[in-house]
Amino acid sequence: MKTHRLTTTASLLIGISAFAVQAFASEPTVVPEQPPVPAQGKITYVPRDSILEFKALPEYHEPEWVTEKFVKAGKLPPVAERLPKEPMVFKTGNMPDGAGVYGDVMRHVIGGRPEGWNYSAGQTQGWGGIDIGMSECLTRTAPLYQVEASDVEPLPNLARSWEWSEDGHKLTMHLIEGAKWSDGDPFDADDVMFYWDDNVVDPNVSPLNGATPETFGEGTTLKKIDQNTVEWTFKEAFPRQHLYAMAYGTFCPGPSHILKTKHPKYAGTTYDQYKNGFPPEYMNIPVMGAWVPVAYRPDDIIVLRRNPYYWKVDEAGNQLPYLNEVHYKLSTWADRDVQAIAGSGDFSNLEQPENFVESLKRAANEAAPARLAFGPRVIGYNLRLNYSANGWGEPDERAQAVRELNRNLDFRKAVTMAVDRKKLGEALVKGPFTAIYPGGLSSGTSFYDRNSTIYYPFDLDGAKALLEKAGLKDTDGNGIVNFPEGTAGGADVQIVMLVNSDYGTDRNLAEGLVGQMEKLGLKVVLNSVDGTKRDATQYAGKFDWLIRRNDQELTSVVQNTTQLAPTGPRTSWHHRAPESGKVDLLPHEQELVDIVNKFIASNDNEARADLMKQFQKVSTENVDTVGLTEYPGALIINKRFSNIPPGAPIFMFNWAEDTIIRERVFVPADKQGDYELYAEQLPGKPGDSGPSN
């Protein structure tokens, strides 16, 4: 892949005129083949309807201590009365180890910190699956990694069934009937409507994973039909794709009976009071998920106990979850790997390559407490350039000048050709893990097509020539190119790159990139902040460049699809509309938006596959994002747990915390540890300081 001059064929291939090409830059090629992923777990593919169903069972069961201490004492209604008329039943045939037994704890370790419990208003709980275990959403997609490709459609969840109108513009959803929040309050269409009307649609509120109305398609509306029925109206006919947006994390309603007490529309409060109305110290926030937070010690731990109203059971009628308690130790992400391997923690998504070798070595020991299994190459990183030239994030003169550069294809080509991806990858870990990743769709998704993936090889001289073509010269001889005279005072080109400081991998990639860009003649300055601040800074548009680990749209395509391009004012990670105004799309972005919209509107598998090939080509040819590296992740989980599906990827439709279906995970009686901190206790009333016994 050494330097060739750009030929006419090549310029045709990349869709630019021969006239524009005079720099001595390498020819773009198809991306090199990736090394095979070592020791991948094997997935057993199953029909979609083999996982779960909704039906009444002749009898129901719960842990004995719940009956003894709570039901018999009149503190809790009998389990049959706490369950919906027809609960969700997980089929035994789909459970790797069958129906389980009650007891024990899953001890998670996380690097995030809780801002508070108002997920609907955008507060993080610290990630690592804590919010996933508390939330339930209209549909569910994480388990789809095991569903046969021809049969893939989101699974029912809070919406137990749905049907389309004849013309395909209306979708009627039937909510699970008689389900209750963890404090016993009924769950119904009012919760769904509160989430939609007063959070998603209210422009002053932005739910945690950034759900906005356009996440569900421009012009989409939702209305309540009765307590158990809601109806969607779409501009497109049969946009089945939106069923994915109704899964985690964009349609998981919060407890309206509690949240309304702080929402401006109902309580005369401010939006700030609403967002911050349920701080981390507020215990027992009602959830629809399997576990309720009952204890919080800052920088130490969050403890969650089983939800006595959980609405899912196994085929024998045992109310789930099997695990009584879940811990979230508040530490660092790197420590999550270390603790899971050592056995003082139970679970990790091994996603930071710096820890691969040591983890593999330790897990290979027969006496190791945890098992480790690699999955497909789904962890990737991109450098994203802020394309807004019309005011998103209110750039000053320098930042505005950088944005104009970001919008220049020669500049982007220079940047991508100055990235030595082999070196970046090897600085993280040696061996067959990291692969050359030019950007665009992840090689781990079924929509990936290598032949549509255009790669501009590493070529520093070619990159420098392109930079000059973009009008940048080092006029003062200090090694850094200057803006042209008349732009930003002709100063050195300085670029502020936003980075998440919570992850060693993000920091290492950022530092590697700073050095490589300096060789090109660009001065990159890091704005390295914790994950919560990173998100806020990013959503506010206050960055020139951004390093970001890939999200679901690139690893699954069908999840978070609207984020693949600026399909709405606030869908893209790096190009959003200013407060008032539109997204100033570049021509190639307009193409991407059209492709994504067609993809969403189409139900034809072949057409969709083809559209994603086009997406990949337009995206990588135009260096829409600058891919950095891509590698597989491994699930580390303590050996005492059962019902962990073999081959479960750590990331695809969702993170592994959801993929493994934690409510079905159990510890056989002879392996149970003594880890429960609040044994035989249940969540207290909302706002109470702890659990109740």
Interface positions with ligand GLA (CB under 6 A): 127-129, 333, 349, 351, 655, 657
DSSP conformation letters of 452-498: G-EE----HHHHHHHHHHTT-B-TTSSSS-BPPTTSGGG-B-EEEEE
The answer to whether 651 and 349 have CB atoms below 8 angstroms apart is yes
> 183 or 346, CB closer to ligand GLA?
346
Identify the three-state secondary structure at position 564. Answer: helix
> 418 or 650, CB closer to ligand GLA?
650
The residue whose two tokens read 């990630």 is 127
In this structure, how many other beta carbons lie within 10 angstroms of the beta carbon of residue 151?
Answer: 13
**Per the structure block, which two tokens stand in for 86?**
């027809």
> 127 or 274, CB closer to ligand GLA?
127
Identify the three-state secondary structure at position 329. Answer: strand
> 351 or 676, CB closer to ligand GLA?
351
3-class secondary structure for 238-257? CCCCHHHHCCCCCCCCCCHH
The answer to whether 297 and 329 have CB atoms below 8 angstroms apart is no
What is the smallest separation between the CB atom of 351 and ligand GLA, expressed in angstroms? 5
What is the smallest separation between the CB atom of 341 and ligand GLA, expressed in angstroms? 15
> 487 or 500, CB closer to ligand GLA?
500
**Per the structure block, which two tokens stand in for 492?**
């050195």
**Per the structure block, which two tokens stand in for 179?**
């389900």
Work out the burial of residue 242: count CB atoms within 10 Å of its CB; fewer than 13 is exposed, 13-18 middle, 19 or more buried: buried
> 333 or 543, CB closer to ligand GLA?
333
Identify the three-state secondary structure at position 327. Answer: strand
**Per the structure block, which two tokens stand in for 426?**
């090897």
- Rounded to whole angstroms, how far apart are CA atoms 420 and 655? 29
What is the smallest separation between the CB atom of 128 and ligand GLA, expressed in angstroms? 4
DSSP conformation letters of 625-669: SEEEEEE--EEEEETT-B---TT--SBSSSBHHHHTTGGG-B--G
What is the smallest separation between the CB atom of 196 and ligand GLA, expressed in angstroms? 23
**Per the structure block, which two tokens stand in for 672?**
């149970």
What is the smallest separation between the CB atom of 76 and ligand GLA, expressed in angstroms? 31
What is the smallest separation between the CB atom of 285 and ligand GLA, expressed in angstroms? 18
> 620 or 638, CB closer to ligand GLA?
638
> 129 or 217, CB closer to ligand GLA?
129
What is the smallest separation between the CB atom of 349 and ligand GLA, expressed in angstroms? 4
Write the CA distances from 33 to 13, 356, 432, 549, 619, integer angstroms. Answer: 19, 22, 12, 22, 19
Instruction: Cite the beta strand spans of 220-351 per DSSP E.
Output: 221-226, 229-233, 291-297, 301-306, 312-314, 325-330, 347-350
Residue type (1 letter), 108: H
What is the smallest separation between the CB atom of 252 and ligand GLA, expressed in angstroms? 13
What is the smallest separation between the CB atom of 251 and ligand GLA, expressed in angstroms? 16
> 128 or 649, CB closer to ligand GLA?
128
> 183 or 657, CB closer to ligand GLA?
657
